[in-house]
Amino acid sequence: MKIGIGSDHAGYRYKEEIKKYLAQRGHEVKDFGTKSEMTVDYPAFIRPVALAVAAGEVERGIVLGGSGNGEAITANRVRGIRCVLCWNEESARLGRQHNDANMLSLGQRMMPLEMALAIVQIWLDTPFEGGRHVRRIQMIDEP
Residues with catalytic function: 71, 98
> Which amino acid is present at 67?
S
25 φ, ψ (degrees, to nearest 5): -100, 10
Sign of CA dihedral 48, 50, 51, 56: positive
Rounded-to-integer distance, Cα 95 and Cα 98, Å: 6
